[in-house]
Amino acid sequence: MRIEYTPLSSGFMLVSILGALFGALWVMPISTNWGFIIVLVSIIMLIASVISMSKAPDQGQLDIYPKKR
């Protein structure tokens, strides 16, 4: 089975960066547990977007209309 990577939007990366900052600077002082979880999820989202950036095909290489089999 071959792994296929899908391109994620730039908004996804922006939300992950802002979520990490929000969790670390605003939520973490109030509640350590919730702040840690928000930062952890945001970092996982950031890693997914970086993998998508490096492995996914360019928009020009994607088939808009897939071939019928």
pLDDT tens digit at each of 69 positions of the chain: 777 777 888 899 999 999 999 999 999 999 999 999 999 999 999 999 999 888 876 666 566 666 666
Spatial contact of 22 and 35, defined as CB atoms under 8 Å apart: no
How far is CA 42 from each of CA 16, 21, 26, 50, 60, rounded to the nearest angstrom?
Answer: 5, 9, 14, 12, 29
Tell me if the pTM is above 0.85: no
Spatial contact of 36 and 58, defined as CB atoms under 8 Å apart: no
Q: Kindly state the percentage of the chain with pLDDT values over 70.
A: 81
**Coil/strand/helix, residue 11:** helix
Sign for the pseudo-dihedral over CA of 9, 38, 17, 44: negative
